[in-house]
Structure 1
C-alpha cells in the first residue's frame, strides 16, 4: 500500500517553512510544514479518495526538534521505534517516520528542519556592551579587528598597524596601547570581526563614514599572524646554535636572522611571519616584490619568498616548497576537489563525465574558465575567497584556495552545459528547490542523487 502525504487540519500560515517531510519515493512531493502544529493526512490507496490523519507534528520550543503524535489507529515507526495511537515521541533533523507498522508497503519520510535568520536569532543571542567593543586607540567600534598577545587586547587593524610602525621606529619593543605590556604576537580575530559587523548592522549610528574606513584600511598591515621581536640583545654564555630560539623566547630564528641574504638582515625589531605550511619563520617585508601572503585567505606561506632568494630547505630552518604559494596560472589539478558541488559526490561524477565526453581534461576546463574570470564574465559573489574583485590568473594563492577556486569555476561550467548534454540519468532529474544551498544533500545520499543541486535556490533564505 503506497501512502502519499499532504498537510491539512490547521490552515497554513504565511510564515516561512520551518520543516518538511521528504518522501523516499521521488514520485511524491515534499510535505511542507509552516505552522507550529500540523496534522499530516494521507491517501489510504490510489483507488479511493478517502484520507486519514496519521500523525501530528508539533514544533518544540528549542527550535531544534519536534514532537510527533500518532493520530492513526495503527502503529507507526519513528526511527525504528513503534509509536502507538495517541503516543508521542521527539524527532530531530534527519529522523525517519513511516506511517505504518513496518517498512514494507509504506513510503518513509525524512524529517528536515530548515534554518532561517529568525530561527538563528532565537536560538542564540549574544549581548555585548558597546563600550567593550571599541578600539582604545580611535575609540570607535572595531574595524577589521586584530588581537595582540599575550595580553589579548583588541584594536582596529589600521590603528594597531600604525602604532606598530611608530613603535618600531622609536622603541626597542612594541607595547600594547591599552595595558603597556610587551606585545609578542598579533593576528586577525575573525570571531570578534563578525560581532562588530553585527553591532553596526543593529545600530547604524555607530558606523564611521566611508572615507574614514577607506583611510583606516590604507594603514592596515596585519594580514596573517605576526611574530614581534622584543628588541632585547641576545646574550648567551654558550656557543650560538643557528636553530636556537631568541633568548626572550619570542620567535624562532629565520635564515635572515643569522645571515644576510639578498641584501637583507633581520634586526632586533624585525616583525616575523610564521609559515602556515611548514611552521618556519620569515621576516615580514611590506613592499617587497615577492608574495608572502595568499590573496585568497590572507595566510602567510614562505615557499615563494625563500625560493626567490635562493634559500633551500636543506638547511637547519623549516622552509616549505615553492608550490605552497604561486600564481593561479601556475597551479595544476587532475582530480575534481572533494569540496566541489558542496561535497556532493553524485554531482562531481556528473561533471567528470561531462568533461570526459567533451574530450577535455579537468585542467583544460579550469584554464578556460580562468580566462572568463579574468574577463569579468563571471559573478564572483559566491566565491569564498578574500579580495575576490582583484583575483585573476596572476594572483598568488595557496593550494587550499586554488581548490576552492576550481570548485567555484566548476559550478559555472556545469550550469553552462545544456541539459541534453548531461548523462541521461542526470538530465531527467528535477531541480532541488534549495539548489546548491540544500542541506539534505549532505546527509541523504538518495536525495543527493535524485535531485539536481547544481542550480540556484528557488526557496529558502539563499534565494
Structure 2
C-alpha cells in the first residue's frame, strides 16, 4: 500500500512512481508494487489519511491506470472520475482526491525514470566477445549450454551441429573445445544477460530473417542427454568400466520397439514427470515436448511405440501427456479464477443451475477456442496462437487452459442466469486478476460482493 513517506531516502528498489502534493506541507506518496492502493491525506482541513485510489503499473509503458476507490468522484486533469471507474494517467497528470478543487489536495503523478530509480542490482561487466556463439560468432540467440565443458552456443547453431553429428553417427564434440558433450540445455540466466546487452547496444541485434532461420533450426527445448557412443549395458547389469558411470539407457537401448532401436549416438531426453529417458526423435509425428510449457514428457511417445511398462525403466502413462480433445475433467482446477474460492463456487453452482456438467461446459468452450472465438492474448501458455484441440499438453497446462476457459464462461454468463445471491452483487473491476481471495474475508465482506469480471475486461 502506498503511503505518504515524507522526505526520506529511497530504500525500496521497486518504487517506480510518486504522487507529489502541490502543498509542500504534505508528504510525497511513493508508489512501489505494480498495484498500489494509495492511503494518504485528501483534505486541506484534515490531516487524516484515507484509502482513495489504486494505481496499477502498465509494464513497458510510460503510463499507468488509476481506479477511484473512494465513495465520491475524483478529478483527473479536470475530468470527473466516478467511484470504481478507471482512467489512464501519465507523468504530469493532476489528480484531486475529491469531486472539486475546493478543500481538497492536489497531487501530480510522476513516473521515475529507470536510470533514477534506487535499484538493488549487482552490476556485471562483460566483454562482448565472451557473449558470442562459437559457431556463428554473433551474440547468442536463445542461448544453450553444453556439459561438462560449459561452453555456450545459439540453440539453432548447436542443434544443426548436433543433427550433423548424428547423421554421421559420430560422437558429439563441443564445437569450441572438442570435449565430449554429454548434456545440452537452455541457459535462462545467460538469456537475460543477452537481453541486457542488446538493450545497451542495439547494433548487436540480428535481423528478423536471421532470427527466424535460427529459430527454425532450434531443437533443444529441454535438457538433452547425449550418449558418448560407447557400448552400454542394460540397467540390471554391472556398469561398464568404459562408460562414464551414468546409466542413460531407455527401453529402446538394446531392444527394438515400434521399428526403432537406439544406437550408440542416440540423443536422449529426460522426462519431466518420471525422470526416465526416451530417445530424441524429430522425424516422428508424436510430440515429445508440451507445447504449453516446453517441458519433455514421455507418455505419448511410449504409447506410440506400444510400450506400457518395462521393469527397470520409469515410464509415464498416456494420460499424463495427450491431446486436449481426448481429455476429461470432473473438478474445477485449484488455480481457477486466481484461486478465488468465491468465484469458483459461483461458477460451479452456475453450471449445475444450467443442468450441465463441468465436462460439457469445457467441451463447448474448447470448441469455441478451436474456432478462435476467444481472445488468446493473455492465455497463460506458451505458443498460445498455435495450440488447437489436437495439441498434446501436460496435466498442468491442461489445468491452466481449463482455468482460462472457465474465466470466459464466467465472463459471458448473463446476470439473470447466475445464482440469486451472486446476481444481486455488483461487478468487480479486478476481473481475471481479482485480489479478493478466499483468505481475505474481511475485504470481501467490506465490499459485500463476490468478484465477477466486469464486461469489457479481458483476461
Common fold: TM-score over 0.5: yes
* Residue 168 of structure 2 is aligned to residue 174 of structure 1: no
**Residue 139 of structure 2: aligned partner:** 141
Does structure 2 conserve the Cα–Cα contact (< 8 Å) formed by 1:228 and 1:251?
no
Q: Shift of residue 244 of structure 1?
A: 6.0
The one of 299, 304, 307 aligned to 1:311: 307
**Residue 205 of structure 2: aligned partner:** 207
Q: Shift of residue 122 of structure 1?
A: 4.4
Does structure 1 conserve the Cα–Cα contact (< 8 Å) formed by 2:20 and 2:29?
no
**Residue 360 of structure 1: aligned partner:** 356
Does structure 2 conserve the Cα–Cα contact (< 8 Å) formed by 1:333 and 1:362?
yes
Q: Shift of residue 346 of structure 1?
A: 1.2
Q: Aligned pair count?
A: 375
Q: Shift of residue 11 of structure 1?
A: 3.6
* Residue 183 of structure 2 is aligned to residue 185 of structure 1: yes
1:132-189 superposed Cα distances (whole Å, 9 cap, x missing partner): 4332322333222222222333221101101112233447422222333322111223
**Residue 73 of structure 2: aligned partner:** none
**Residue 47 of structure 2: aligned partner:** 53
3-state SS of paired residue (2:253): helix
- The TM-score normalised by the length of structure 1 is 0.70
Q: Which blocks of at least 5 consecutive residues in structure 1 are unaligned?
A: 23-29, 42-49, 58-114
Distance (Å, rounded) in 2 between the aligned partners of 1:432 and 1:153: 51
Q: Which blocks of at least 5 consecutive residues in structure 2 are unaligned?
A: 6-18, 52-110
Change (3 A) 1:271 1:320: same
3-state SS of paired residue (2:389): coil
CA RMSD of aligned residues (A): 3.9
Does structure 2 conserve the Cα–Cα contact (< 8 Å) formed by 1:436 and 1:456?
no
Distance (Å, rounded) in 2 between the aligned partners of 1:339 and 1:410: 11
Q: Shift of residue 438 of structure 1?
A: 4.8
Q: Shift of residue 279 of structure 1?
A: 1.3
Distance (Å, rounded) in 2 between the aligned partners of 1:385 and 1:12: 48
The one of 211, 223, 226 aligned to 1:225: 223
Q: Shift of residue 415 of structure 1?
A: 0.9
Change (3 A) 1:443 1:212: farther
The one of 385, 388, 392 aligned to 1:396: 392
Change (3 A) 1:150 1:257: same
* Residue 453 of structure 2 is aligned to residue 447 of structure 1: no
**Residue 287 of structure 1: aligned partner:** 283
- What are the within-5 Å matches in structure 2 for residues 226-245 of structure 1? 226-234=224-232, 241-242=235-236
Distance (Å, rounded) in 2 between the aligned partners of 1:12 and 1:417: 48
**Residue 372 of structure 1: aligned partner:** 368
Deviates more, 1:192-201 or 1:209-218: 192-201
Does structure 2 conserve the Cα–Cα contact (< 8 Å) formed by 1:344 and 1:441?
yes
Does structure 1 conserve the Cα–Cα contact (< 8 Å) formed by 2:221 and 2:295?
yes
Distance (Å, rounded) in 2 between the aligned partners of 1:123 and 1:441: 31
Does structure 2 conserve the Cα–Cα contact (< 8 Å) formed by 1:227 and 1:251?
no
Change (3 A) 1:160 1:343: same
